[in-house]
């Protein structure tokens, strides 16, 4: 498990990766790779982005994934629609869980907001239950907060 200080360093590394780059896909791809390299006991990390009133798979690391998730459905759709972090100790206890990967046992999903609008989510899955704790939530929140300041998403203005 990471400490808050380690997450702070990870957030700085993430910002260094995307500094000066405006391409959304490139930036999210590098962030997902960075998280995949630095987080233990995860089997999927990536982004879902709002397109045509649903969440559509974005850059990720891991096994193949669900391509589209309806708003308000599953952990990702719930995090997006409620604009709240969803930290789920056991996904099988989450009503309406969408099983994209049968190996996933726990999950944390953080909404991403640009210019006051929710535009997507960061989704991280683990093959063990109770993988994500309060420190993970705080550290990933810090990373997402920094990410939101640096993302350039002109296409989200029209959604």
User: Greater confidence, 156 or 102?
Assistant: 102
Give residue-wise pLDDT tens across range 62-121: 999 999 999 999 999 999 999 999 999 999 998 877 777 778 999 999 999 998 899 999
In whole angstroms, what is the distance from residue 99 CA to residue 118 CA? Answer: 23
> Domain tally for the chain?
1
| pLDDT at site 82 | 97
pLDDT at residue 134 is higher than 70: yes
Instruction: Name the β-bridge partners of 111.
Output: 121
pTM to 2 decimal places: 0.93
How would you classify residue 133: left for phi > 0, otherwise alpha for psi between -120 and 50, otherwise beta? beta
Domain of 122 in residue numbering reads as 4-158
* CATH number of domain containing 27: 3.30.450.40
| pLDDT at site 155 | 52
| pLDDT at site 95 | 80
Beta strands in 29-157 (DSSP E): 44-51, 54-62, 68-70, 86-88, 106-114, 117-126
């Amino acid at each position: 498990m990471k400490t808050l200080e380690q997450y702070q360093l990870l957030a700085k590394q993430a910002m260094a990766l995307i500094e000066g780059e405006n391409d959304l896909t490139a930036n999210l791809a590098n962030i997902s790779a960075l998280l995949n390299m630095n987080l233990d006991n995860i089997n999927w990390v990536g982004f879902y982005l709002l397109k045509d009133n649903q969440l559509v798979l974005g850059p990720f690391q891991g096994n193949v994934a669900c391509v589209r998730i309806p708003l308000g459905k599953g952990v990702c759709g719930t995090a997006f629609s409620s604009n709240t972090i969803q930290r789920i100790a056991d996904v099988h206890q989450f009503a309406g869980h969408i099983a994209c990967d049968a190996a996933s046992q726990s999950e944390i999903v953080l909404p991403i907001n640009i210019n006051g609008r929710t535009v997507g989510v960061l989704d991280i899955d683990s093959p063990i239950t109770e993988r994500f704790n309060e420190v993970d939530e705080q550290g990933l929140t810090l990373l997402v907060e920094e990410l939101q300041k640096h993302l350039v998403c002109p296409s989200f203005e029209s959604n």
